[in-house]
Structure 1
């Protein structure tokens, strides 16, 4: 049985995508949009951002442009406009955009070899050209980075945590166990801070 690097990288990207979508399950329209960090991080905005960058990295980079209008990515758009959903952009609009971006990216991944070259126009010349391998690593990493952000934001909303429903990747402790754990971590931090 051989090792298929492209399939493995593609699977890591897909797992990150699934984690992102799961983090929105069961939440109100307000909760998926509300900013919960000083920089405005919110769940639906993370999905919108990832849809936008998947379209660009797997499309524009490899001469496989998409026909999706992304006005929030224009040079004259408001800074960070890709990191939140406007009032007229529904949950379904953003989720459908993400699924279309994923399908477009998947078509590029399927069509090209790992060593296929592309050009990222917004990166400096000294790092271009790039390969599909590089972009797959970049996007899998970016997606999982934002899935981590989403995990923290979701925990702040309703306490729901974990990697995915069937595999939370956390100790199986109840509320009392977690309260005790947090108290131990806090006590350790205070003791270290007083040294």
Structure 2
């Protein structure tokens, strides 16, 4: 994958391609990090690379559960607590495990969306949930995909800032390193700092 989304043939392919690309650039923020580095919150924020990855994976899975009208597990309060915990990259968490979970979620999303013939299909707004609007009865599958792109892009930006605070790495040099680009006058692939 490169710095741009490939050409697309239609809306469905475009939405899924843009979501996949945002997932990819978010994953790049973890390129070359150890689990310990992925736990660092090097700015005034409490955000970590590992926590952001964990959060977006679970949030995407949750939204697809909403599309499928799965009954949420737990009370609203328990779900709000779980939401906050999803940002925590604990000592038990590892980058490989969180990245594998995110990859699995991406595959589930692709499969679910492939099985929905009409992206305009209504997705009922869960009622009694304080963070959802009371004045909207339904979103569409299309809206959910656009929301996931927005959510993932927002957190990819957060991850870029966190990563730069960890070791100075920036998005395009990380992309160049991850994809094996040769050094050039305009970009040098990221390399781990010397020990």
Which of 77, 80, 83 is equivalent to 2:81? Answer: 77
Q: Which residues of structure 2 form unaligned runs of 5+?
A: 1-7, 189-195
TM-score, reference length from structure 1: 0.74
Matches within 5 A, 1:19-168: 19-63=25-69, 74-75=78-79, 77=81, 80-112=84-116, 113-121=118-126, 122=129, 123-163=132-172, 165-166=175-176
Rg larger in 1 or in 2? 1
Superposition deviation, residue 162 in structure 1: 2.0
Q: How many residues align?
A: 167
Superposition deviation, residue 40 in structure 1: 0.4
Structure number with higher relative contact order (C-alpha < 8 Å, ≥ 6 residues apart): 2
Superposition deviation, residue 36 in structure 1: 2.2
Superposition deviation, residue 173 in structure 1: 7.2
Superposition deviation, residue 77 in structure 1: 3.0
Change (3 A) 1:87 1:154: same
Please say which of residues 48-57 and 157-166 is displaced more in the overlay: 157-166
Q: Which residues of structure 1 form unaligned runs of 5+?
A: 175-195
- Residues in 2 aligned to 1:27 and 1:41: alpha-carbon distance in whole angstroms: 15
2:163–2:169 Cα contact (<8 Å) kept: yes
2:34–2:95 Cα contact (<8 Å) kept: no
Aligned-residue Cα RMSD (Å) equals 2.9
